[in-house]
Amino acid sequence: MSKTINVALIGNPNTGKTSVFNALTGLNQKVGNYPGITVEKKQGSCRLNHTTKAHIIDLPGTYSLNASSMDESVVIELLLNKNDKDYPDVAVVISDIENLKRNLLLFTQIKDLEIPTLLVINMSDRMVGKGISLDIAQLEQKLKTKIALISTRENKGIEFLKTCLLDYRSLSKEGCLDITKIDEAYFGNLQKVFPDQSLYKLWLVITQDVNFAKIQRKKVQDATEYKTQPIAHLKRLQQKETIKRYQFINQSLKETYTVDQSKATDYRSKLDRILIHRFWGYIIFFLILLTIFQVIFDWSSIPMDFIDESFSALSEYTKTNLPPGLFTNLLAEGIISGLGGIVIFIPQIAFLFLFISVLEETGYMSRVVFLMDRGLRKYGLSGKSVIPLISGTACAIPAVMATRNIENWKERLITILVTPFTTCSARLPVYLILISLVIPEGKFLGMGYQGLTLMGLYLLGFVMALLSAGILNKMLKIQSKTYFVIEMPNYKLPLLKNVLITVFEKTKSFVVEAGRIILAISILLWLMASFGPGKEFNQAEEIIMSKAKVESFSAEELENKIASYKLEHSFIGILGKSIEPAIAPLGFDWKIGIALISSFAAREVFVGTLATIYSVGSDREETIKNRMKAERKPDGSLLFDLPTGISLMLFYAFALQCMSTLAIVKKETNGWKWPLIQLFSMTLIAYLSALIVYQILT
């Protein structure tokens, strides 16, 4: 019978924890949230041998167990709660060979929790270039643990790590530090109050704001003394603890870890002088983004055309080869056309995630955070706000979650409120279809107009986020201290496996999550478009045929007239017509109005909605793009002309059309006040922007 052990991966940021997680789990991963909170939870599975399987949980990065942010507290809560289903049988602390001294602070803390703890020293392939030598056997004795020296880049040491995990019961639970040496009187009294409890666990419970089961105290005379200590005194004890731990670490590394500086290379400082330069740093970042957006259009055009034509052919094949009827129409016009409206954008979304992953893997993203901190301060943000703002290019939901590492509440609230202005991947399908319809394919200085337009929309969202943040910074009267600390990781070549896994998981998540919504909405829209009340819908053929006697129509024109008339008088047509007066000044007709309403479930539904609407009653073997391109206004002019296209792009650039984002903002701000303010203000900005631009362009 196969058994499963819980393995917790813990480590400082930038130690390669994700690389170890990917090396162990491969594609056997899933992402969710910790119960009750919105910190991302990555889990995976790994078979250690034919009888044992490891359930691996990748905990948020933390520098110590003295948590300063909500995501760091997740680590402590898990390690202190034996009743948690994910409580680890073995803790694996990931360290970086170049920053071993700093990484070992966290290791000694976890070791003192009396959990079997394994030390993994990653990036061993850098030892020679950095002039590092390490006595593994002696260091194991001093730290009272087993050490796995690995290199995820060269795929070395992973099998040995699995062997160590199998043998976790042999790991010593002996701690590294005698906590009582910090203050014998204080900890002596604490031990009297809780005689049967781990002293270091008690110390963490006292000093951290964690959800932990109540501990039954022994009623003795000085039982509450530990609670009456002032916070300043507890802080001083924490500082003493850190000093004691580093004394132990220094002594352990003194004879086991040496660095020959003559062999080390110093290219990082030279690169940093350029990449985080006050002027050239911004220019380089701008050029990188410009290149990314240009490549997104150029590289993905062939697979996109293939997907578009394939879905159109599949829809036509379904209509031709299945028996005529309601089910065939639903399949061809509702499901296939709706899904085609989102699958077509998989190549571009995958390329976007590819480039973001490469920038993160190289260590460049941390430089961007540092670079942007200088300019963001005046807007009430910090460098740490860049991470959610950049993460928002994938999805606003995890981006809002990422604000949990911002300690300052005012900065965090402002970041939460302005992050949805950042162009997310859900907006990408809308932008791409509209840009391809209204922006010509010419070039300016070697850069395509379409790529430049997409770049402009991303920059526009970011600029609006900054302007809104500046206004909120003046309006919000919240006093809180702030500080900014960030580690500059070493530059490294992207690990291909990590990049591919990231692209696969992110793209799959986008398609699966969007696909569920689009499938449901496509079916609902098709039903609403295929049925209607009154004689205008039910007697559409007779009404159009009577007009045909007066005007001469070809068979194809007659069929299209009937389909268009029925659609206009269907349930969905009535809905669209009811809001048309409000959106007509923006250049939108009732069909676009339907797409606007449906896209509140998810922005990317916009394209799928139009694909479904334009497919109803259509027997033409045409692509989505061609059907939209052929759509006309009542006066015979093109519906999707330049003014309407720009108006629509601006509306989607600023509108908060995502119920999931509203829900997550409500959860993060503990109420409906801020999400409702966010919804109405962003919708007003979107409406006014689209109105002004359309009226000017026409």
Query: What residues contact residue 312 under an 8 Å CB cut-off, 6+ apart?
Result: 340, 621, 622, 623, 624
> Is the predicted pLDDT of residue 485 greater than 70, yes or no?
no
Per-residue pLDDT tens for 34-69? 334 445 668 889 998 888 999 999 988 888 888 766
In whole angstroms, give the CA distance from residue 410 to residue 413: 5
Q: How far is CA 277 from CA 117, 361, 462, 488, in A?
A: 42, 21, 21, 14
Token pair 């990408």 is at which residue?
428
What contacts 1, CB < 8 A, 6 or more positions away? Answer: 51
Between helix 590-598 and helix 605-615 the angle, nearest 10°, is: 140
Measured distance CA(355)–CA(304) in Å, rounded: 18
Q: Name the phi and psi angles at 626, rounded to 5.
A: -65, -35
Whether the Cβ atoms of residue 427 and residue 603 lie closer than 8 Å to each other: yes
Q: Which helix (H) or strand (E) holds 514?
A: helix 496-530
**Hey, which residues does 8 pair with through a beta bridge?**
57, 91
Q: How far is CA 139 from the centre of its chain?
A: 38
- Cβ–Cβ under 8 Å, residues 385 and 400: no
- Domain limits of the chain? 1-265, 280-475, 515-697
Rounded Cα gap, residues 55 and 90, in angstroms:
11
Q: pLDDT tier at 217 (50, 70, 90 boundaries)?
A: very low
The span from the CA of 623 to the CA of 627, in Å, is: 6
Residue 464 carries which side chain, given as an amino acid letter? M
Higher pLDDT, 543 or 452: 452
CB 661 within 8 A of CB 552: no
pTM of the model: 0.61
Whole-number Å distance between alpha carbons of 118 and 75:
16
pLDDT average, residue stretch 483-512: 73
- The pLDDT tens digits for 6-39 are 999 999 887 888 889 988 888 666 554 433 444 5
Write down the pLDDT at residue 511. Answer: 73
Nearest Cα to 436, choosing from 695, 592, 623, 568? 623
Which stretch of DSSP H or E encloses residue 350? helix 346-362
pLDDT-derived band at 681 (thresholds 50, 70, 90) equals very high
Characterize 245-283 residue by residue with b for buried, 16 or more Cβ atoms within 10 angstroms of its Cβ, and e for exposed: beebbeebbeebbeeeeeeeeeeeeeeeeebbeeeebbe
> Do residues 473 and 379 touch, judged by C-beta distance below 8 A?
yes
DSSP character string of 602-659: -TTHHHHHHHHHHHTT------HHHHHHH-B-TTSSBSS-HHHHHHHHHHHHH----H
Nearest Cα to 242, choosing from 137, 372, 331, 112? 112
Task: Tell me the one-letter amino acid at 573.
Answer: G
pLDDT digits (tens, 9 = 90+) for 65-118: 887 666 677 888 888 888 888 899 999 999 988 889 999 999 999 999 989 999
Give the model's pLDDT for residue 149.
93
Say which CATH class 1-265 falls into.
alpha beta
Give the pairing type, strands 117-122 and 90-96. parallel
Rounded to whole angstroms, the Cα distance separating 57 from 84 reads 13
d(CA 21, CA 42): 9
Q: Is 224 exposed, middle or buried (0-12, 13-18, 19+ CB in 10 A)?
A: exposed
What are the pLDDT digits (tens) for 348-382? 778 877 887 888 788 787 777 777 776 777 787 76
| pLDDT digits 0-9 by tens, 184-216 | 888 888 888 777 778 888 888 887 744 334 444
